[in-house]
Amino acid sequence: MTHVYDQLHAACAAHGTRLFTVTVQDIALDVARRAYTSHPVEYPVSGTKPLTRDGWYDHCITGQQTFVANTTPEFAKYFFDHALITSLGLGSCINIPVIDGDSVLGTVNLLAEEHHFTAARLAAYEALVTQHHAALVAEMAKG
């Protein structure tokens, strides 16, 4: 059987996602760890980043809502790697929280060209994450 991250990546790529990562929250260490990547050179699985308490964190982690930015200026204030993102020809992103009970275990992170995440596409991506929810929770709970 194909790994849940591989399955979800393929499904999202079919809708136009060009960069796909999954991060898992490690609250004890106060970091997010990359658990899957479509771009291992630019975004290796070994990568971590601090959980910065900012507007993105308030919206996506505390608020448990999908973060949507359809232009670079919308995400640049939250993502220190915005120059790398734009150098890859990407200008929009969404981060979909994976929730178990009252906790966000991690996020599914999708990037594409500017203005890619229309309302219809956003609904399609969120439906894919919902469809894979049980397997995502099981995998993310492993740490």
How many domains is the chain partitioned into structurally? 1
* 67-to-2, 50, 143 alpha-carbon distances in Å: 27, 18, 23
Q: Are 18 and 90 in contact (CB under 8 A)?
A: yes
What's the CATH code of the domain at 41?
Answer: 3.30.450.40
| pTM score | 0.95
Rounded Cα–Cα distance for residues 39 and 19 (Å): 7
Tens of pLDDT, residues 25-77: 988 888 999 999 999 999 999 878 888 999 999 999 999 999 999 999 999 99
Q: Are 51 and 58 in contact (CB under 8 A)?
A: no
Q: For residue 91, give its domain range.
A: 4-141
Number of C-beta neighbours around residue 34 at 10 A: 19
* Number of residues in the chain: 143
Rounded Cα–Cα distance for residues 136 and 71 (Å): 28
Rounded Cα–Cα distance for residues 90 and 84 (Å): 9
